[in-house]
Chain A
Amino acid sequence: MSGKSQDVEALLGQKYRHGFVTDIESDSLPPGLDEGVVAAISRIKGEPQFLLDWRLKSYRHWLTMQEPTWARVHYKPIDYQDISYYSAPKAPANAPKSLDEVDPKLLATYAKLGIPLHERARLAGVAVDAVFDSVSVATTFKDKLSKAGVIFCSFSDAVRNHPELIERYLGSVVPAADNYFAALNSAVFSDGSFVYVPPGVRCPMELSTYFRINAAKTGQFERTLIIAAEAAQVSYLEGCTAPMRDENQLHAAVVELVALDDAQIKYSTVQNWYPGDENGLGGIYNFVTKRGECRGRNSKISWTQVETGSAITWKYPSCVLKGDGSVGEFYSVAVANNYQQADTGTKMIHIGRNTRSTIVSKGISAGHAENTYRGLVKVLPGADGARNFTQCDSLLMGSKCAAHTFPYMEVRNPSATVEHEASTSKIGEDQLFYCLQRGISAEDAVNMIVSGFCKVVFKELPMEFAVEAQNLLSVSLEGAVG
């Protein structure tokens, strides 16, 4: 099938669809990072003293840290002084109060991305807190949510209006000193999303945020904090695309989830940042810290991710299972094509009794890509009856890509049950030929086979995302066969 592979590799070079830049004047700090910059960000945003102190402490700690090198990713050193740490779309003195006040160019940008904010979102019953560069520009469905007592707003708004919640929960799951990129984020984060669901409330709609990196050489440092109080339930969706750029763009987000007694949080991601071109030039560096803490009894946190973008992905959405009977889940599809490098997985830390976790990871590699699953299942001495099930499957397309699996296990309680299953397969020529012989084109056949491979993860996604994820996969892997 060697002749075919060549055609297929040509098809793989499909151009990034969302590669365009909106021409909007940016309000940016000049490149560089020092205590003055950290203080300036805090001042621009009008933050209270406790937050400025926290940022500065984080910054000072960051200075003492080394960039981690243990991941299976390779990239040129990042010059942290060459990055602008704040940029905001130029807006009138006050932020827009409704969509009508939003810059039409901005709205057009979302439309190009296939995110008709005011129509599709409404039809789908999705509230959208849209982040353009670093500042939230539009929030919908506020009324419905506030009637239910749900707070869903930009991080900056939460700092202004609910400082007590921020002070109480910020950094309580991912401490500022947790790791190099989390410390950097803690020092310079510009905005993000905040969700608080009060006790006993089931959030009346799926919550969604679309992130987008626009201004050149602007690192983006989101901060997301979601709290589900006792017996509360919330499902949060995050999706992102970025315009084409030659320079590598750094992205280091932090997401913290807190689930109290009997609460449930479902966090879904479709990530489609610019992966670089077919020669590995450009693309987003995505160094993200995502962690949820099941702080209460019988609480549940579920991560579902479909990762198709970024030149480098370094991401391990994790669950700390503190509460007795709490449940952590991680469902992941990670696609790496061309010269993309993905090192992703999860950590399940079992602390409470009878805690349970499930890990299902599907890695797809094509082109020259490197795709690594790295997961830790840790059972502490007090976690009687803890159970984990892990399944890691890798699918290879072509002969130049690679898949690696590093499952770490630390079990310090004899009553725990930990199961691990792993498989690696190539897209079978037999499967492909079977489809071709039925008249199905190679691209459609590959999409079909890959979708089948990912099905168990896709069905964990909310409906509207499942469709988007399927489309994304088609674009990312069009024609890939081995």
Chain B
Amino acid sequence: MLLKISDLHVSVGGRQILKGINLEVRAGEVHAIMGPNGSGKSTLAQVLAGREDYEVTGGSVSFEGRDLLALPAEERARAGFFLGFQYPVEIPGVNNVYLLKAALNAKRKAAGLAEVDAYEFLALIRQKMKFMQMSEAFLSRGVNEGFSGGEKKRNEILQMLVLEPKLAILDETDSGLDIDALKIVSKGVNSLRDPARAVVLVTHYQRLLDYVAPDQVHVLAGGRILKSGDKSLALELEQRGYDWLLESAVA
């Protein structure tokens, strides 16, 4: 089991957001988490990544058998946990390539591997950028500085491809993308599919799932997973919305 979330309770500023999440993700799988606004999807992603503003009030999370919640954020990342941010932040004056090289080397160092030098790294990132159809100009720009929404999301996927995580959670990476960008992002995600890795897609829309077919779909609402199923569940949600699920949960 790559990721096992058991009865996870989380509150923010005294307000209970997650009220007992259970989720198991095996290597090789792609999961989609869907649900209405404010249901706790982003909270789940942030808590798993190690954001400290969130208080875990109950439950546990294991990642490859380790207690994920006991690790600081940077160690989770080095262990192979990646979060694709919903709103990637700008860091003015810090070069994209510099950040990504530091990230890769931090991970390699933690794994007892030698650091990559500047030339090797440049060759690697050029190859990945070509795959993601990003322009060379990206190399000299600051981290997400002046990027459009679509460029920021594409940059998240680029980082994921360079860092090759075991588990990637992509928080609404498809939001704000036009259809061409969506295809490129999907291509990036699919290229990471591999028997040793898993991807969790947090999304509002079925259309991403047309390009990245999930093994399982979960509906998160009111801080709980109300229903899980295969990809046909996503299609059903697209047609019927969430209300029928919420009503049956209340009943």
A45 an interface residue at 8 Å Cβ cutoff? no
- Contacting pair A434 B103 (CB below 8 A): no
- Contacting pair B52 A434 (CB below 8 A): no
- Contacting pair A448 B98 (CB below 8 A): yes
- Contacting pair B92 A453 (CB below 8 A): yes
B83 an interface residue at 8 Å Cβ cutoff? yes
B49: nearest residue on chain A (CB-CB)? A437
Which of B4-12, B71-79, B189-197 participates in binding chain A? Answer: B71-79
**Chain A hits for B85, CB < 8 A:** 434, 437
A435: nearest residue on chain B (CB-CB)? B99
Interface centre among B73, B103, B107 (most CB of A within 10 A): B73
Within B74-106, the residues touching A (CB, 8 Å) are 74, 76-78, 82-83, 85, 88-89, 91-94, 98-100, 102-103, 106
Contact status of A436 and B91, CB under 8 A, knowing A1-B52, A444-B102, A448-B102: no
Roughly how many angstroms separate A148 CA and B102 CA in the complex, as a whole number?
A: 45
A425: nearest residue on chain B (CB-CB)? B92
Contact status of A437 and B50, CB under 8 A, knowing A442-B74, A444-B102, A444-B106: yes
A436-B72, A437-B85, A438-B102 given; 6 more Cβ-contact pairs under 8 Å: A1-B52, A430-B89, A435-B103, A449-B94, A452-B91, A453-B92
A26 an interface residue at 8 Å Cβ cutoff? no
- Contacting pair B91 A434 (CB below 8 A): yes
B53 an interface residue at 8 Å Cβ cutoff? yes
A449: nearest residue on chain B (CB-CB)? B91
- Contacting pair A451 B74 (CB below 8 A): no
| Distance to closest chain B CB from A432 (angstroms) | 9
| Distance to closest chain A CB from B159 (angstroms) | 7
- Contacting pair A439 B142 (CB below 8 A): no
**Chain A hits for B89, CB < 8 A:** 428, 430-431, 434
B110 an interface residue at 8 Å Cβ cutoff? yes
**Chain A hits for B143, CB < 8 A:** 434, 452
Roughly how many angstroms separate A452 CA and B49 CA in the complex, as a whole number?
A: 25
B200 an interface residue at 8 Å Cβ cutoff? no
Count the B residues whose beta carbon is within 8 Å of the partner chain — how many?
A: 32
Roughly how many angstroms separate A456 CA and B142 CA in the complex, as a whole number?
A: 13
Q: Which 5 residue pairs of A and B lie closest in terms of their CB atoms, listed nearest first?
A: A452-B93, A439-B77, A452-B94, A438-B103, A455-B93
A453: nearest residue on chain B (CB-CB)? B93
**Chain A hits for B73, CB < 8 A:** 433, 436-437
| Distance to closest chain A CB from B75 (angstroms) | 8
| Distance to closest chain A CB from B90 (angstroms) | 8
A420 an interface residue at 8 Å Cβ cutoff? no
A77 an interface residue at 8 Å Cβ cutoff? no
Roughly how many angstroms separate A441 CA and B76 CA in the complex, as a whole number?
A: 12
Chain B residues with CB under 8 Å of chain A are 49-53, 72-74, 76-78, 82-83, 85, 88-89, 91-94, 98-100, 102-103, 106-107, 110, 142-143, 159, 163
- Contacting pair B51 A448 (CB below 8 A): no
- Contacting pair B163 A439 (CB below 8 A): yes
Roughly how many angstroms separate A4 CA and B74 CA in the complex, as a whole number?
A: 13
**Chain B hits for A448, CB < 8 A:** 91, 94, 98-99, 102
Contact status of A438 and B77, CB under 8 A, knowing A1-B52, A1-B53, A4-B52: yes
- Contacting pair A439 B72 (CB below 8 A): no
A68 an interface residue at 8 Å Cβ cutoff? no
Cross-chain contact of B77 among A437, A449, A455 (Cβ < 8 A): A437
Roughly how many angstroms separate A401 CA and B92 CA in the complex, as a whole number?
A: 22
| Distance to closest chain B CB from A14 (angstroms) | 20
Roughly how many angstroms separate A448 CA and B103 CA in the complex, as a whole number?
A: 12
Count the A residues whose beta carbon is within 8 Å of the partner chain — how many?
A: 26
A3 an interface residue at 8 Å Cβ cutoff? yes
Interface centre among A4, A436, A444, A456 (most CB of B within 10 A): A436
A454: nearest residue on chain B (CB-CB)? B93
Contact status of A431 and B91, CB under 8 A, knowing A439-B107, A444-B102, A444-B106: yes
Contact status of A438 and B72, CB under 8 A, knowing A448-B99, A452-B93, A452-B142: no
| Distance to closest chain B CB from A461 (angstroms) | 15
A78 an interface residue at 8 Å Cβ cutoff? no
A409 an interface residue at 8 Å Cβ cutoff? no
Q: Mark A402-438, 1 if CB is under 8 A from B, else 0.
A: 0000000000000000000000000011110111111
Can you pick out 6 interface pairs between chain A and chain B where the beta carbons lie within 8 Å of each other?
A431-B91, A434-B91, A436-B73, A449-B91, A452-B91, A453-B93
Roughly how many angstroms separate A433 CA and B98 CA in the complex, as a whole number?
A: 17
**Chain A hits for B72, CB < 8 A:** 436
Roughly how many angstroms separate A366 CA and B94 CA in the complex, as a whole number?
A: 20
| Distance to closest chain A CB from B164 (angstroms) | 12
| Distance to closest chain A CB from B71 (angstroms) | 11
**Chain B hits for A437, CB < 8 A:** 49-50, 73-74, 76-77, 82-83, 85
| Distance to closest chain A CB from B107 (angstroms) | 5
Contact status of A438 and B99, CB under 8 A, knowing A3-B52, A431-B89: yes
Roughly how many angstroms separate A455 CA and B91 CA in the complex, as a whole number?
A: 12
| Distance to closest chain B CB from A8 (angstroms) | 12
B76: nearest residue on chain A (CB-CB)? A437
- Contacting pair B77 A451 (CB below 8 A): no
- Contacting pair A452 B92 (CB below 8 A): yes
**Chain B hits for A444, CB < 8 A:** 102, 106
Within A222-238, the residues touching B (CB, 8 Å) are none
Roughly how many angstroms separate A437 CA and B83 CA in the complex, as a whole number?
A: 7
Q: Mark A335-348, 1 if CB is under 8 A from B, else 0.
A: 00000000000000
